[in-house]
Chains A and B, each alone.
Chain A
């Protein structure tokens, strides 16, 4: 169990993000949950690449043990893409707030329902 502590915490963070995305109605809170989910994946990749007693993968004659550089490269890409998606999501939230005057999922759905039933009456 102690050997896998890093993975257990990773799973905890991932599930906390998942819980926020499912259970919270506020769109900004949902996006924060999504980014927590994303960051937990960084740990899932980086933790297995670590070697105890190793050093950062910058080659130097004084060191012989290096941690694995490949996950670092993949996650470097993931971080930048994560921020890009967060920015797009926040822009969408701002647009929704203008159209519905709310970023709470329940209120948005209620307004949609009212609008639909009004349309039905007019037809």
Chain B
């Protein structure tokens, strides 16, 4: 009976890993198509699909808070921003004058080095990996009385990170407004003439 339960559990775990792998393959396919396509509207739609796939992978990897943010901000806000920019610019990418052999060589050699390095990392889902020790067991003790550990760490243990993030977003917002205000003035001037 117990052996059967153990086997069922192992089967479920295998399926869990398989689902993650399949989603990762889908993401890789999306990106490969995205690299090749020149029509920018299609590229934006593909990057939206990529973001939603990423959100699904994150759910499978138990990062539900990150998945929610990625679906809302990565797939939603980014796509809207890109479509807005496309509306203001041309939507067809020019054909490059020459074949991109040098970038390809740089990318492939970087990939080879990184994969070689990644082989030295701990196995996937290894409970003894260093990442699961150090400060994490303390976060899990529910010191702040917030059952969602991610919220507890974000707002309490690492609250200053979030403050820094707010500063970055504020600076970026101020930059966008400064850049696009000049544009509006220029348009008004042109209309005045």
Residues of A within 8 A of B (CB): 3-20, 22-26, 28-29, 31-32, 35-36, 39, 42-43, 46-60, 66-77, 79-88, 90-95, 97-98, 102-104, 106-107
Given A49-B61, A49-B131, A75-B66: A15 touches B125 (CB 8 Å cut-off): no
Taking a contact as CB atoms closer than 8 A, the residue among B125, B180, B183 that contacts A51 in the complex is: B125
Q: Total interface residues on B, using CB and 8 Å?
A: 97
CB<8 Å pairs between A and B, sample of 7: A3-B123, A6-B24, A32-B34, A56-B63, A79-B69, A84-B171, A97-B90
Cβ contact within 8 Å between B179 and A43: no
The 9 closest A-B pairs by CB, nearest first: A84-B172, A23-B100, A67-B62, A7-B118, A23-B103, A22-B103, A3-B123, A90-B85, A57-B149
Cβ contact within 8 Å between A4 and B150: no
Contacts of B17 in A (CB 8 A): 52
Given A36-B50, A56-B62, A84-B173: A103 touches B118 (CB 8 Å cut-off): no
Most buried by A among B16, B103, B108: B103
Min distance, Cβ B116 to any Cβ of chain A, angstroms: 10
Knowing that A87-B172, A104-B94 are A-B contacts, what are 12 other residue pairs whose CB atoms are under 8 Å apart, sorted by A's residue number?
A16-B32, A19-B103, A32-B47, A39-B74, A48-B121, A50-B62, A59-B142, A66-B140, A67-B62, A73-B158, A76-B154, A91-B175
Cβ contact within 8 Å between A50 and B61: yes
Min distance, Cβ A61 to any Cβ of chain B, angstroms: 10
Cβ contact within 8 Å between B63 and A67: yes
Contacts of B12 in A (CB 8 A): 53
Cβ contact within 8 Å between A5 and B24: yes
Cβ contact within 8 Å between A4 and B179: no
Task: With CB as the reference atom, state the residue of chain A lying closest to B31.
Answer: A16
Min distance, Cβ A68 to any Cβ of chain B, angstroms: 6
Cβ contact within 8 Å between B129 and A81: no
Contacts of B124 in A (CB 8 A): 3-7, 47-48, 50, 52
